Amino acid sequence: MRIVGLTGGISSGKSTVSNLFKSHGIPVVDADVVARAALNKGTGGWRKVVAAFGQEILLENGEVNRPRLGQIVFSDPDKRQLLNRLLAPHISSGIFWEIVKLWMKGHKIIVLDVPLLFEAKMDKFTKPIIVVWVDPEIQIQRLMARDGSSEEDARGRINAQMSLDVKRSKADIIIDNCGSLDDLNEQFQKVLSEVSKPLTWTEFWRSRQGALTALALVTLGVLLCRKAFNSDDL
């Protein structure tokens, strides 16, 4: 199985690229979606976060007030680290089970969309790694336009992440998303053909088809050995 890593900065265009993959039939595991589920009311993640941050981060219905928690953690690195530490095991196991489900369905190529792929050291499980890069000023403009946030808020969120230039230096494939959506789509077509290349042998043996082939080969080997022993007995 090929697990393609997709990362970048906040609002650099990862979801836009993810949607392109999905529209070409390649499933995407979205870490933001998994992270949201890990904070749902009543879950283990929710309990730990409420115990650490207090009732004031809750809405009246008991769900986490996400903008409120965001304001707290994106302006205080210690609190952000605390939140990351509390949620990391829930996010990793959520991502793991999403991958297992896609493996069981027989998908050979999947995309892991993880904003903190390098920070969380998940990059070692993915190949190739695609970084969606964008110029910092365009990133701020798009972030403020999308979330209706202030410049201070947007800068706080961007500064909470590893710099996009550092991420770019760690990439196998770079998508430069400073241009129009048409430009992005044009680059995506090249990325798609790169990512859709035939699996390597290692990737093949990690796929469900590879595992079934290995099982069939072992079974055949056992049957042939038994037959050989039986003929010796005769």
Ligand X SMILES: Nc1ncnc2c1ncn2[C@@H]1O[C@H](COP(=O)(O)OP(=O)(O)OP(=O)(O)O)[C@@H](O)[C@H]1O
Residues that bind ligand COD (CB under 6 A): 10, 31-32, 35, 39, 66-67, 69-70, 73, 80, 83-84, 87, 91, 114-116, 157, 160-161
Nearest approach, Cβ of residue 121 and ligand X (Å):
19
> Around 175, how many Cα atoms within 13 Å sit in the side-chain half-sphere?
33
* Strand pairing class (2-8; 109-113): parallel
Least distance from ligand X to the Cβ atom of residue 146, Å: 4
CA-based max dimension of the chain = 85
Q: Which two tokens stand for residue 119?
A: 């920070």
Binding mask 84-123 for ligand X (x = CB under 6 A): -------------------------------x--------
CB-CB contact of 36 with 45 (8 Å): no
Q: Is 116 helix (H, G, I), strand (E, B) or coil?
A: coil
Structure tokens at 144: 């403020």
Q: Bridge partners of 129?
A: 5
Q: Which residue type, as a one-letter code, is found at position 9?
A: G
Helix, strand or coil, per DSSP, at residue 100: helix
80 makes contact, choosing from ligand X, ligand COD, none, with CB < 5 to 8 Å by partner type, with: ligand COD
Span of 59-67, 180-188, 197-205, 215-223 interacting with ligand X by CB under 6 A: 180-188
Residue 39 near which of ligand X, ligand COD, none (CB within 5-8 Å, type-dependent): ligand COD
- Tell me: does residue 32 bind ligand X (CB under 6 A): yes
The piece of 14-22, 48-56, 62-70, 197-205 that touches ligand X (CB under 6 A) is 14-22
Q: Does 2 bind ligand X (CB under 6 A)?
A: no
Binding partner selected for residue 209 from ligand X, ligand COD, none, CB under the kind-specific 5 to 8 Å limit: none
Query: Is 159 buried (19+), middle (13-18) or exposed (0-12) by CB count in 10 A?
Result: exposed
How far apart are CB 223 and ligand COD at their closest, in Å?
47
- Which of 32/172 has CB closer to ligand COD? 32
**3 state DSSP class of 197:** coil
CA–CA gap between residue 85 and residue 82 (Å, rounded): 5
